[in-house]
A and B are shown apart, each in its own frame.
Chain A
């Protein structure tokens, strides 16, 4: 088995046991989802995909915001919670003005314009918060992840103080405004996104099946081009995948392509899946490209240097602290925007709870994709997002099918979220210790 894998991957150091261990979290989720699909009998395929796509559009941006801090050596940034808070502050401001305008029959601060204004307002808030957070991470080197958790809680406290007390008590607002609590101080439990709801989703939509056909065809062509035609930029380097990976990609892409063409021809259930918001997909793709592009700049190289070894980066004159702050600022700003995208899809902002689980869920999702404390890629973020939410959708179904109670499945979700984070962190430390043992001086060293 192992020898076969060695041959297939063309990698003589390939070890099946290690590979399974490295990808154990992802494997557990695949198994769970496949079992879930088999047990949950009354699950409709189009309903599942509609829900999955919806959640993907909502969350992908947030999850992608985690990549840069991981590469810069800050670990998993649970502190994106404060980014989300910055986004919510921007939403509250814009919605306040928007509702004012709606009250007199206007449409100012609504729709796409209102949404873009939210992005603009969130930017400086998130940047300042990110700078403060980054500075804190520099003071707590080695404990960034714990610091980031605490930053989330602290940010939550400050945020509640602002929206529950300062707005109204210090910041003058109209006491009769529908967003303000009855006594004129503080924001109500939920804020309606009004006409900014789906502002991005609804811009341009195409049906799911043709989209999937186009996507699968693109992946197939890209893989073939990459394998046979692409010339490496630097001589001697190769972009070629190992044969196993290549064939897995080709068969998967071809299979998906064939399946959706069939669906199109026969008018199968996939035709009922929610339409694809093209502009939102482009925004997500743009962020992915941005991530990729920035890694190819001087700044990106500095991120990698700091992430791999701070001492060496410092010794070579890289301003490590500043680089880490920049990474945190970027992450926080992206998280703020990600939260706005998330909420325009939800339609309502739960003022006091919306941001609470953003950190845990996003971190769990990227871990499910196979990322770890010191490595994360766009592919892992995307896979993780899909797998994680598939688990989320399936859990109540499995609970219903196996125990006759959907609620049990819901508990199971929570268990999976924290379990994944715990397992990943534990495995990371365990592997690091194992490496230290392997580094023992060898017997035959002469």
Chain B
């Protein structure tokens, strides 16, 4: 039955004129395990959204090119079509209902029912459930993967590894499943669970199901997959037989791009004084959990925090500002800092530029001057004057400060009374910087400062951050998904992987090392593998 090859033919996608996928060609054969790898924004999710006919694709003008199954246009316009074509997905975040039993989860919206008098009158939804038949099906699906958990246990309280299998069981229970997509399936699993899962995937492939395996863990890709396709910036980079490629080569292909932002000078001198130490910090930020990171920050340096999305890099700054529940020890200027007391933290001289510029960072309906003064008023009682028993805002001081910031930071606006909502992304970010500077911070936490900002403005923001460190002696911790920008201004870069610090890199380390470390390879191994790859590349060039 499963004789069709799944093909992406010249697939492209634009979101309002901005191309996120360009001419992707890829094919998945029945019974093959095909790994798909790329950085954030490389286009993996968009490609999968196209495969599943997600509304986000079709409500934004569809895509170009074709998805073919068995040589014919598959015409997948919505998730239901994808299901009918036998395409299934095992989600990264579990799509399971904790209060339901395993059976109920496997059979969700595909319950087995029998008609009754009421259903004949009021329609199919009034049919009663056949619990026994549902349980039998669920058992069968669990057995296929060699799972011996009882099908009537509630999902709530199962180990995550088991939840993953319930997800898979749901997909293989769907009749005629031909292709199965695994989106980062091992991200939350322990080593033994991972082993179990990889075996199950091999078993499924052996039954003729075509597998698309999305993962950032290079070692798993090497061990598991038959072929690997690498995407970068929405473009196809390479498809290789896995046995002909090494992890270091994959890492280089994944990261390696012409640096769009050049680093102007070499190493900067940074003082040895530790302005902040962080010990075993854990942050419960949904989707960006931090599971125990330890690091020091030196006065006057720019410390970069990088890593893939969902690995916890954003959780660090948010945790330090007490935006989510936190445990761990933090000291600032030698004194312990209770990070849950955000107001205290701000008072002591730490400021934060949130990655959620429009949600947390700015009051979009308010003017530039109000935005710039707002936090300083709350925290330091700046820009206030006493008139008798009343404390009033000092409009003159606010205006003067805002005008100074506009001039210093080169904020392009009609006047300081303009609403921030009307500004471009880059200028909004500058207003955020101005707001932070009004606090006179010694330490500035910046998250994703260039997200959603065009390339010209990016450079300005990065130069601005560099100036803050160099000219004002401010310490900056910058979190970013873009390695290139971290490497262009940071003195050191911490790579966060799976909620922990994978290692510390210099901005001058090679693409391979960065790529490997983001995939969870330790620094020593990454260095060794990268060294070997470079030697090999060098040898080839010489030979």
Contacts and interface: CB of A to CB of B under 8 A. Distances in A.
Interface string B111-131: 101000011000011111101
A437 B325 contact: yes
Contacts of B150: 236
B108 A441 contact: no
A441 B135 contact: no
Contacts of A294: 126
Interface stretch (B92-100, B176-184, B355-363, B386-394): B92-100
B185 interface: no
Contact of B291 (A297, A312, A445): A445
A313 interface: yes
Interface residues of A, number: 33
Nearest to B98: A308
Given A301-B111, A305-B109, A315-B95, A439 B128 contact: no
B132 interface: yes
A315 B109 CA distance: 10
Given A301-B104, A316-B109, A436-B325, A441 B131 contact: no
B282 A236 contact: no
A89 B256 CA distance: 73
B152 interface: yes
A298 B98 contact: no
A309 B97 contact: yes
B131 A234 contact: yes
Contact of B284 (A233, A297, A439): A439
A235 B133 CA distance: 11
Tell which of A294, A298, A313, A437 has the most Cβ of chain B within 10 Å: A298
A312 B108 contact: yes
Contacts of A237: 152
A298 B131 contact: no
Contact of A302 (B109, B327, B499): B109
Interface in B51-104: 79-80, 83, 91, 95-100, 103-104
Given A234-B152, A312-B95, A315-B95, A305 B128 contact: no
A439 B98 CA distance: 14
A21 interface: no
A316 B291 contact: no
B301 interface: no
B370 interface: no
Interface string A5-41: 0000000000000000000000000000000000000
A235 B109 CA distance: 22
Given A234-B135, A439-B284, A445-B291, A312 B499 contact: no
B79 A440 contact: no
Contacts of B39: none
Contacts of B100: 304-305, 308
Given A317-B80, A440-B282, A302 B95 contact: no
A203 interface: no
B111 A317 contact: no
A316 B110 CA distance: 9
B109 A318 contact: yes
Question: A235, A316, A443, A446 — which one has the most chain B CB atoms within 10 A of its CB?
Answer: A316
The residue in A439, A441, A443 that gathers the most chain B C-beta atoms within 10 A of its C-beta is A441
Nearest to B130: A233
Interface in B202-246: none
A380 to B, nearest CB: 17
**Chain B CB within 10 A, most for which of A301, A309, A440, A443:** A301
Most chain-B CB neighbours within 10 Å: which of A236, A296, A299, A446?
A: A299
A82 to B, nearest CB: 23
Contacts of A309: 97
Contacts of B118: 297
B79 A298 contact: no
A440 B325 contact: yes
Contacts of A437: 284, 325
A297 B108 contact: no
B491 interface: no
Given A308-B97, A308-B100, A312-B97, A441 B129 contact: no
A299 B284 contact: no
Nearest to B139: A235
Nearest to A433: B325
Interface string B266-301: 000000000000000010100001111000000000
Given A298-B126, A301-B129, A312 B96 contact: yes
10 contacts: A234-B103, A234-B152, A235-B132, A304-B100, A305-B97, A308-B99, A313-B109, A316-B95, A317-B80, A436-B284
Interface of A: 233-237, 293-294, 296-302, 304-305, 308-309, 311-313, 315-318, 436-437, 439-441, 443, 445-446
Given A308-B99, A315-B95, 16 more contacts: A234-B135, A235-B132, A237-B152, A294-B126, A296-B128, A297-B118, A297-B119, A297-B125, A298-B124, A300-B129, A301-B104, A305-B108, A308-B97, A317-B79, A436-B325, A441-B291
The 10 A-B residue pairs with the shortest CB-CB distance in the complex, in nearest-first order: A299-B125, A316-B109, A308-B97, A440-B284, A316-B108, A234-B135, A298-B125, A441-B291, A234-B131, A312-B95
